[in-house]
Amino acid sequence: MDVGGVLLVVVVVTALSFDFTNGVHDTANAMATSIATGALRPKVAVGLSAVLNFAGAFLSLKVAATIATGIVETGAITLTVVFAGLIGGLAWNLLTWYFGIPSSSSHALIGGVVGATLIAAGASAVKGKELVSHVLIPAVLAPLTAIVVATLGTFLVYVITRRVPEGIRSRGFRLGQIGSASLVSLAHGTNDAQKTMGVITLALITGGVIRPDAGVPFWVIVASATSISLGTYLGGWRVIRTLGKGLTEIETPQGFAAESSSAAVIFSSSHFGFPLSTTQVCAGSVIGAGLGKRLAEVRWGVAARMGVAWLITLPAAALVGALAWASANGIGGSLGVLTVFCVSAMLSGGLYLLSRRAPVNAGNVNDKWTAKERSA
């Protein structure tokens, strides 16, 4: 295999690794509230989410097209740039997973690719207008929209069911949550799995394997859908805990309203081809569910930490992407890429070992939110 072939294989493996962490990181988006309310047992929830994520990846390819050709100029980048961008996204995914912060895998990936492109090819290679219209504006509007929709939805479900006995209402909304959580998982597959499809397609175009107008190869769709589903099944319990227990104490009507709001916003985004942050949408919906219930507590300290993470996701991932490109390019060729890949793998393994010192799993994910977690 020649140097170009080695680079392409490493890029594809790195992309699928990112896709895997996307699934681990974003399981919380679909299932955190259903797990928190007891509508679904934790293991059942992540299994259902994995199946629906896989199915959702085949429903639309508009987001993949946006990532592949809508953010950077394909003719101005190289396989090393694509690889470095993926490293930027991976690093941010793993760091925020470790701290249990529901951050955006989408923006981490885009930030990494933009950062690597900027240092390698200059600002002219980044499509600034498209970045603003397809990424930055939706990043602001999507969570705000989700908050408004979920607040109104939560208020209405309590008003409409106020005369229904509590036991019957709780059982009814638990059943409803199974359907609404399934919709979020399906919507997540239509949006997030395609980001990796877009990056792999970009790499194949850059490597001269396919034409720029060839579209997404079927094997890329299957591989990306499988990777994100496997990550989803493992369950990102640290992030699930924050989203399900950290922002507010969720009751079943709130969970139903939050999940339904998230699904509506994400499906709308996928229809228009916006690479939306499902994390921001789902977190906004949970906040709205807290605001929509009278006397419910929203833990604004946790929300503030999430907000800070959202603000720095793009620049932080861009910085790592730029450093990864500089390191790989400094060593040169496939050796440089392989060196950065191995170092990244070792650092990722170290972070995982650190996480085992205070593990979060299916057995303790629903434990009461502690005073230590409130002040963290």
Instruction: State the pLDDT at residue 275.
Output: 59
Instruction: State the pLDDT at residue 342.
Output: 94
DSSP 150-165: HHHHHHHHHHHTTTS-
Instruction: State the pLDDT at residue 62.
Output: 57
Instruction: State the pLDDT at residue 276.
Output: 66
Please say whether the beta carbons of 112 and 321 come within 8 A. yes
Q: Is residue 372 a part of any domain in this protein?
A: no
pLDDT average per 10 residues of sequence, the chain (376 residues): 75 92 83 86 90 80 56 76 91 92 86 90 84 81 88 91 84 86 78 78 82 82 90 86 85 87 78 71 89 81 88 94 93 87 94 91 85 66
Average pLDDT, the chain: 84
Instruction: State the pLDDT at residue 67.
Output: 60
Q: Which long-range contacts (CB under 8 A, 24 or more apart) does 95-99 make?
A: 95/351, 96/25, 96/239, 96/309, 97/21, 97/24, 97/25, 97/236, 97/238, 97/239, 98/238, 98/351, 98/354, 98/355, 99/238
Q: Which amino acid is at 19?
A: D
Distance CA(262)–CA(150), nearest Å, equals 8
Please say whether the beta carbons of 12 and 200 come within 8 A. yes
Q: Which amino acid is at 224?
A: S
Please say whether the beta carbons of 79 and 206 come within 8 A. yes
| Tokens matching residue 2 | 């020649």
Q: Is residue 373 a part of any domain in this protein?
A: no
DSSP 87-137: HHHHHHHHHHHHTT----HHHHHHHHHHHHHHHHH-GGGB-HHHHIIIIIH
pLDDT digits (tens, 9 = 90+) for 218-245: 899 899 889 989 998 887 889 999 888 8
Distance CA(283)–CA(293), nearest Å, equals 16
The total domain count for the chain is: 1
Instruction: State the pLDDT at residue 65.
Output: 54
Q: At what angle do helices 166-191 and 42-56 cross, to 10 degrees?
A: 40
Instruction: State the pLDDT at residue 107.
Output: 86
Distance CA(329)–CA(349), nearest Å, equals 24
Using CB atoms within 10 Å of the CB of residue 59, give its burial: 0 to 12 exposed, 13 to 18 middle, 19+ buried: middle
**pTM given for the model:** 0.86
DSSP letter at 242?
Answer: I
pLDDT digits (tens, 9 = 90+) for 62-113: 555 556 556 777 676 788 888 999 999 999 999 999 998 888 888 898 899 8
Q: Is residue 19 a part of any domain in this protein?
A: yes
DSSP 46-99: HHHHHHHHHHHTTT--HHHHHHHHSSB-GGG--HHHHHHHHHHHHHHHHHHHHT
Please say whether the beta carbons of 244 and 366 come within 8 A. yes
Distance CA(305)–CA(299), nearest Å, equals 10
Write the CB contacts of 316 (distance below 8 Å, at least 6 apart in sequence).
92, 111
Range of the domain at 320: 3-365
- Enclosing H/E stretch for 191: helix 166-191
- Dihedral, 139, 144, 149, 154 alpha carbons, nearest 10: 120
Q: Is residue 370 a part of any domain in this protein?
A: no
Residue 211: φ, ψ to 5° = -75, 155
